[in-house]
Amino acid sequence: MSFKIFRNFSEVATLAGAHHKDGRRLNHDDLGLIKNAAIIFDSEKILWVGEDKNIPVDFLEKDFIEIDMSGKVCVPEVVDSHTHLVFGGDRAHEYAMRMNGASYEEIAASGGGILNSMQGTQALTRSDLLRLATARAKAIKAYGVGTIEVKSGYGLTFEKEYEISHIIHDLKNVLRPDIQIINTFMAAHAVPKKFSSSYEYMKDVVLPLLDKLGEEKILDCVDIFHEQNYFSDEDVIALFERAQRHNIPLKMHADEFNDNKGAILATKFDALSADHLLATTQDGLWALANSKTVATLLPGTGLFLGKPQANARAMLDAGVKVAIASDFNPGSCHCDNLIMIASIAAPLYKMNQVELWCAITLNAANALGLRSQGAIVEGLKPRFTFFQAPSLDHVTYSWGKNHAIN
Ligand code: NIG
Ligand code: FE
């Protein structure tokens, strides 16, 4: 059996302690930093990690490929667990409107927002949308992100949402093995004007389409925007129960603008993640802490919209499993640089260094149901991110500078 040895990394952050603690209540040692490190792996799994000088001799006696990684840093593969990157048009003028005093909700109520992107998306063909999505995924990957979750949700008709879920499926095939794509169905993103209620739209479009795509077995997750003027408790329950029939894992946009008790609802269904959580209060926080549901925080969105941020420190202290993602989309966060977003968020959230790295590796992978990656420990998948940097500290230090090696 042939295997590879990466030798002489300046530093490897294994996150072994974080993996052992399931990504909760982390302290500095859980980063598992090894200087002058080596990693040995085959195509399926990691076989050994440690100081280069301690490589077991039996490995060196076999057939292997050796690669010198001097001057490079390695972390578990960085994962962007929340993006909406299939869309047409742009909403640059909405950002300017917000600078000039309008709120996201006001812009949406006056015909902007998600429904504006629906028009831009409806105007493009399947091949145009695939081309744009491919370029956007590659741009995210360029910062060192190896797994990207992609949500549908700007088509908002049966036909266009069907097409978009298939575009994401095509994207998965086009980008494999360089990028691992997770296909999330989010037709329940906004209610198009021609429907009198979210219930009507769920009944006529979302649920029948979920049945069709569920039978085609191309979906990895479902998601829904649980928010006033978008989708209700009843809509969430209808979607989640239907998804469970198809054995599709659940995710939810929860408590983004108001404390709708969305985090609590997500945990009742054992959702993989509840995302946003800007307005979640104590009861939601405890529900998350006592569940397997990952709290996916999207600091770029709070910054982009000029909203108060999620109470990350309280979540971390309560033992919530916290991930950070970009939320890359045309309206509420048009930023595709996850490492920069996380670097800015950590001091804002008062996260320590291991909490930051765990949030974009292990916990982000777990937020997508990926349990066999996210740490550099024996037996897990050999999915890594490399940076050209003298130390891990340098990667988050230079905001916006791309250190990733592709
Ligand atoms: O995650 N909150 C709902 N969906 C997106 C925003 C989409 C948009 O404004 O286009 C989000 O922030
Ligand atoms: Fe989102």
Residue 28, pLDDT > 70, answer yes
Give residue 84 CA to ligand 2 midpoint distance, Å: 6
Decide: helix, strand or coil at residue 148. strand
- Confirm if 380 and 374 have CB atoms less than 8 A apart: yes
Dihedral over Cα of 381, 387, 391, 394: its sign: negative
Select from 388, 366, 295 the least CA-distant residue to 69: 388
Residue 274, pLDDT > 80, answer yes
DSSP summary character for residue 157: S
For 168-197, letters b (16+ CB in 10 Å) and e give bbbbbeebeeebbbbbbbbbbbbbeeeeee
Residue type, 163: E
Rounded (to 5) percent helix, strand, coil in the chain: 40, 20, 40
Least confident of 18-32, 99-113, 329-343: 99-113
Q: Specify the pLDDT at position 61.
A: 87
Select from 309, 311, 325 the least CA-distant residue to 364: 325
| Mean pLDDT calculated for residue range 280-294 | 98
CA-proximal residue: ligand 1, atom 3 (nearest): 225
Q: Specify the pLDDT at position 111.
A: 86
Q: Specify the pLDDT at position 9.
A: 98
Structure confidence at residue 382 as a pLDDT band (50, 70, 90):
very high
pTM of the model: 0.98
Number of helices and strands (H, E) in the chain? 18, 15
| Mean pLDDT calculated for residue range 39-48 | 97
**pLDDT per position as a tens digit, 341-377:** 999 999 999 999 999 999 999 999 999 999 999 999 9
Element (H, E) at 347: helix 338-349
Least confident of 106-115, 162-171, 290-299, 344-353: 106-115
What domains sit in the chain, N to C, each tagged with a CATH number? 3-75+374-405 (2.30.40.10), 78-366 (3.20.20.140)
Structure confidence at residue 62 as a pLDDT band (50, 70, 90):
confident
Select from 76, 61, 63, 71 the least CA-distant residue to 31: 76
Percent of the chain with pLDDT over 90: 97
DSSP code per residue over 196-256: SSHHHHIIIIIHHHHHHHHHHT--SEEEEBBSTTSB-HHHHHHHHHHHHHTT--BEEEESS
Pocket test for ligand 1, best of 329, 333, 335, 341 (most atoms within 8 A of CB): 329
| Mean pLDDT calculated for residue range 11-24 | 98
**pLDDT per position as a tens digit, 383-396:** 999 999 999 999 99
Give residue 189 CA to ligand 1 midpoint distance, Å: 8
Rounded to whole angstroms, the Cα distance separating 145 from 81 reads: 10
Residue 309, pLDDT > 70, answer yes
For residue 14, what are the CA distances in angstroms to 46, 255, 319, 367? Answer: 11, 33, 21, 19
Structure confidence at residue 1 as a pLDDT band (50, 70, 90):
low
| Mean pLDDT calculated for residue range 169-179 | 97
Does ligand 1 have an atom closer than 6 angstroms to the CB of 327? yes
pLDDT averaged over every residue in the chain? 97
User: Edge-to-edge strand order for the sheet containing 322-324?
Assistant: 251-254, 273-276, 294-297, 322-324
Q: Where are the alpha helices (DSSP H) in 47-113?
A: 57-60, 92-99, 104-109
